[in-house]
């Protein structure tokens, strides 16, 4: 079953409950639904985690955890999937989100934007690019959440069908012998 595959890579619930950034959720982390592995909880965790990955805010893990608690889906998967956008992948992903937003809005791409790590740059440039950037992030987040949910449900279903066919074949073989 897919549970065994996923369980192999999930962290211990006690480690997650005691994580320094998630401790403030307190008793909410003791809900057993946050730790279950079934088709609904895994697919929902993919939706929450992938959407949260494209939200351009610091502490995306906390956002992923809050979403998992609200929708009562698997917490470790939601938090782990947020790391799709990490310090290495974030610049190209968010630049693509900006380009997508300009394409959707029909505005021209601001080619003069040059990245600098400073508060002055952030305040100056964000005022000119915030609309296409946030729209692109929202569209990417929504599309990846929907696609991730559908793919997990499809893969889970195909895995269960294959498992049942093998089980039925074994039973027929044992009855024949």
pLDDT at 2 over 70: no
For residue 44, what pLDDT is reported? Answer: 95
Asked if residues 113 and 10 have their Cβ atoms less than 8 Å apart, the reply is: no
Return mean pLDDT, the chain: 85
pLDDT in tens, 67-80: 999 999 998 899 99
For residue 3, what pLDDT is reported? Answer: 65
Q: Could you state, in order of their start, the residue ranges of all structural domains in the chain?
A: 2-176
Report CA Rg, the chain.
21
pLDDT in tens, 43-70: 999 999 999 999 988 889 889 999 999 9
pLDDT in tens, 79-92: 999 999 988 888 88
Among residues 156, 146, 155, which one has the least CA distance to residue 38? 156
Q: How far is CA 105 from the centre of its chain?
A: 26
pLDDT in tens, 99-114: 999 999 988 876 666 6
138 φ/ψ angles, rounded to the nearest 5 degrees: -65, -45
Of 34-38, 76-80, 141-145, which range is least confident? 34-38
pLDDT in tens, 149-171: 999 999 999 999 999 999 999 99
For residue 1, what pLDDT is reported? Answer: 47
């Amino acid at each position: 079953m897919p549970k065994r595959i996923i369980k192999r890579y999930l962290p211990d619930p006690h480690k997650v409950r005691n994580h320094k950034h998630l401790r403030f959720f307190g008793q909410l982390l003791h809900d057993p639904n946050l730790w279950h592995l079934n088709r609904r909880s895994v697919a929902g965790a993919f939706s929450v985690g992938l959407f949260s990955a494209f939200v351009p805010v610091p502490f995306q893990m906390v956002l992923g955890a809050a979403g998992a608690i609200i929708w009562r889906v698997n917490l470790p998967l939601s938090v782990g999937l947020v790391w799709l956008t990490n310090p290495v992948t974030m610049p190209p992903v968010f630049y693509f989100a900006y380009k997508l937003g300009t394409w959707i809005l029909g505005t021209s791409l601001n080619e003069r934007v040059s990245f600098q790590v400073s508060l002055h740059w952030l305040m100056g440039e964000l005022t000119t690019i915030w609309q296409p950037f946030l729209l692109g992030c929202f569209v990417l987040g929504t599309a990846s959440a929907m696609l991730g949910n559908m793919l997990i449900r499809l893969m889970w279903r195909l895995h269960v069908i294959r498992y049942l066919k093998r089980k039925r074949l074994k039973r027929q073989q044992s009855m024949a012998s």
